A and B are shown apart, each in its own frame.
Chain A
Amino acid sequence: MREFILRRVLQLIPTLILISIVSFTIIQLPPGDYVTTYVANLAAAGEELSEEEIMALEAHYGLNQPGYIQYIKWITNFVQGDMGLSFYWDRPVNRLIGERLMLTMIMSFFTLLFVYAMAIPIGIYSAVRQYSLADYVFTFIGFIGLATPNFLLALIFMYIGIKAFGASAGGLFSTEFLDAPWSVARVWDMLKHMWLPVVIVGTAGTAGTIRVMRATTLDELGRPYVETARSKGLREGPLTMKYPVRVALNPILSTVGWRLPEIVSGTVLVALVLNLPTTGPLLWRALMSQDLYLAASMIMILSTLTLIGTLISDILLAWVDPRIRYGERGTT
């Protein structure tokens, strides 16, 4: 097992290098760079910049150098923990991302918790009582949850919030805590605000996970080993939990990691609508304004999260499924 983990961690390194090159290249692919966007914006506002001023700007941001030198400079600083400067915000990327990344991860964690706490029991119930009234109801709600775009749900909740409670549903903090330093009161305030985006973002995930859990459990319920367990005289409830559900959880567990980046990047629209201080809107704006280092750094962080997530999934799966664990040694 230790060997397995070590090998997987080592495999991350070349993957990350490749991702950093590809993402840096792709961001530079659209014609022009931050300065061209900036100049175009100024021109639209009726202000003209001279050739020298433009050159000076390019030199200032290091954009006059060839792409690979920009890349090498950026990646060397990146691994040392310095993610460069955001052109648009004119602030170091580190400071820009810091709190947002933490808030995003907290929200992702609660969303994940919400999704599994709702979806796994419902999925099991729907499978065990297949074609029952409750199964149909959950299936119906589940499909609506899958089909409704999250941002629409966010708008509906905001509308209800304003109409019924006269309160704005946006943001993660009350006004008085917006720029306050961290304190117990601020954390409490955040948690009070967080349930709504968690529910909104989690709905589609919950609906999807219910379907997966129901399908895998149904698959396992008919397996011979379940019949063996029944032939021993086990009670139906413990039997279901110990055998088919235990096996059906494997695919759910093994995709835990994939959910991390999905939640981080998939919440852009909801975050925009609800005005959440998470990473989604920041990445969106960075890409729109060709804010090179900010965009590249964020994509790098997301990729790293994805890879770590996948690694966690693989380790979890090897841990829960002996067939995979022992497959490593080549036994049959």
Chain B
Amino acid sequence: MDNLLEVKNLQTHFFMAEGVAKAVDSTTFSIRRGQVLGVVGESGCGKSVTARSIMRMVRPPGHTVDGEILYSRDDQNGQVMTLDLLQLPATGTEMRAIRGGEIAMIFQEPRASLSPVHRIGDQITENILLHQSVTQAEAEDIAIEMLRQVHIPLAEQRMDAFAHQLSGGMCQRVMIAMALSCHPSLLIADEPTTALDVTTEAQILELMQGLQADLNMAIMFITHDLGVVADMADEVAVMYLGKIVEQGAAADIFRDPKHPYTIALLESLPRMDQRREWLQTIRGVVPDPYITLKGCPFHPRCADFMPGVCDEILPQPITLEDNREVRCLLYTEHAHQESAPVAEETSHQ
């Protein structure tokens, strides 16, 4: 398989006075070249920390304690070589060349993500000058061209603007222009449209889709919005409590979710074609991050909880048909039932 990035058994923990919070706990997934991977999950499930672990930007008290992040790049001879990003010093020359140059990132709060006291143009050209051997004037030309590509009107004038003079949507366009200015092979988008209104969100998503096709880059699209994932992603990874509980082709997952958590997530989507008194929710809340649950981390909230099994055994990823990976004991010999559960009729209330 033509994997651009392969994350294996990634563990990023936060060492706090209250204890160790395992924000990312043996996460395994992969992103293919030119593909959009949607990573979904509730707040605090480890999506953003996973992204920062890949960028090697986790700040203390967080530390990536174990795992592999295998990144494939073309060397000078056009040969594909793979290196483990976790083996590189986080602030070393090589990792810094990859960061911003080959793997770029955009963030949730577009205006706060731009410096309040530096001009837009200065911030974009900085990125270009860091990764390409061009002059200041050439870098400015590239920056203007990038601003045009993200459909910012009057691109030349906007170079001198400050973040607070632009709308949130415009700021996110600037962030995208900056991130893509060095043609990265992977763009990590950490909830890039969460802070925007729906109209702007739609525009930004459309822009990202267009650029993704033009530049043939992969996108790791982090969101808690299943609608956005359905719109954007080729493949979906569902995350719960620091683990990927299900990964597969987007179409397959939406049509036939396997993990009880994925099923519950999809059921809690409000639907236009059904009138309901109550919005379907997942019972309970995300547990305390400092407590390590025995067995499957989802078992206290699971509709298909099997006593004596789910609270005892930690499920490992299993590959089902059509390349679906699921971390659930229902699909193992531990399940009492003969067949996998069909969850749509079960009441969660």
Give the distance in Å from the alpha carbon of A233 to the alpha carbon of B116 in the complex.
19
Q: Which of A232, A242, A243 contacts B127 (CB 8 A)?
A: A232
Give the distance in Å from the alpha carbon of A331 to the alpha carbon of B108 in the complex.
24
Q: Which single residue of chain A is at the shortest CB-CB distance from B129?
A: A232
Give the distance in Å from the alpha carbon of A24 to the alpha carbon of B170 in the complex.
56
Give the distance in Å from the alpha carbon of A247 to the alpha carbon of B112 in the complex.
13
Would B114 and A233 count as touching, CB distance under 8 A?
no
Residues of A within 8 A of B116 (CB): 225, 247, 321-323
B153 → A minimal CB distance (Å): 16
Q: A225-B112, A228-B175 are in contact. Are A236 and B91 (CB under 8 A)?
A: yes
B8 in the interface, Cβ–Cβ < 8 Å? no
Q: Which of A187-246 contact B (CB under 8 A)?
A: 222-225, 227-236, 242-243, 246
Q: Which of B98-106, B138-146, B296-304 contacts A (4 or more CB under 8 A)?
A: B98-106
Q: Which single residue of chain A is at the shortest CB-CB distance from B92?
A: A235
A4 → B minimal CB distance (Å): 17
- Interface magnitude class on chain A: 20 to 34
Q: Which single residue of chain B is at the shortest CB-CB distance from A221?
A: B59
A126 → B minimal CB distance (Å): 16
Q: Which of B118-168 contact A (CB under 8 A)?
A: 118, 123, 126-127, 130-131, 162, 164-165
Q: A227-B57, A247-B116, A323-B116 are in contact. Are A233 and B109 (CB under 8 A)?
A: no
Residues of A within 8 A of B165 (CB): 326, 331-332
A153 in the interface, Cβ–Cβ < 8 Å? no
Q: Which single residue of chain B is at the shortest CB-CB distance from A250?
A: B117
A320 in the interface, Cβ–Cβ < 8 Å? yes
B324 in the interface, Cβ–Cβ < 8 Å? no
Q: Which single residue of chain B is at the shortest CB-CB distance from A322?
A: B162
Would B99 and A233 count as touching, CB distance under 8 A?
yes
A252 → B minimal CB distance (Å): 14
Give the distance in Å from the alpha carbon of A223 to the alpha carbon of B117 in the complex.
13
Q: Which single residue of chain B is at the shortest CB-CB distance from A229?
A: B115
Give the distance in Å from the alpha carbon of A223 to the alpha carbon of B96 in the complex.
20
A43 → B minimal CB distance (Å): 65
B186 → A minimal CB distance (Å): 12
Residues of A within 8 A of B114 (CB): 225, 228
A330 → B minimal CB distance (Å): 12
C-beta contact mask, B52-68 vs A, less than 8 Å → 1, else 0? 00010101000000000
Q: Which single residue of chain B is at the shortest CB-CB distance from A331?
A: B165
Q: Which of A230, A247, A322, A331 contacts B57 (CB 8 A)?
A: A230
Would B113 and A228 count as touching, CB distance under 8 A?
yes
Residues of B within 8 A of A236 (CB): 91
B185 → A minimal CB distance (Å): 14
Q: A223-B112, A231-B105, A320-B117 are in contact. Are A326 and B164 (CB under 8 A)?
A: yes
A132 → B minimal CB distance (Å): 11
Would B117 and A235 count as touching, CB distance under 8 A?
no
Q: Which of A222, A228, A322, A323 contacts B107 (CB 8 A)?
A: A228
Q: Which of A231, A234, A247 contacts B117 (CB 8 A)?
A: A247
A328 → B minimal CB distance (Å): 13
C-beta contact mask, A306-332 vs B, less than 8 Å → 1, else 0? 000000000000001111001000011
A107 → B minimal CB distance (Å): 33
A-B interface, 3 closest residue pairs, ranked by CB to CB distance from nearest: A233-B100, A232-B100, A233-B96
Which residues from chain B sit less than 8 Å from chain A, CB to CB? 55, 57, 59, 91, 95-101, 104-105, 107-109, 112-118, 123, 126-127, 130-131, 162, 164-165, 175, 178-179
Enumerate 25 A-B pairs (CB-CB under 8 Å) in ascending A order. Answer: A222-B59, A225-B116, A227-B57, A227-B107, A228-B115, A228-B123, A228-B178, A229-B115, A230-B99, A231-B57, A231-B99, A231-B105, A232-B100, A232-B130, A232-B178, A233-B95, A233-B131, A234-B126, A234-B130, A235-B91, A246-B117, A250-B117, A326-B165, A332-B164, A332-B165
Which residues from chain A sit less than 8 Å from chain B, CB to CB? 222-225, 227-236, 242-243, 246-247, 250, 320-323, 326, 331-332
**Told that A228-B105, A234-B96, A235-B91 touch, could you supply 14 new A-B pairs with CB distance under 8 A?**
A224-B109, A224-B113, A225-B114, A228-B107, A228-B175, A231-B104, A232-B178, A233-B96, A235-B96, A243-B115, A246-B117, A322-B164, A323-B164, A332-B165
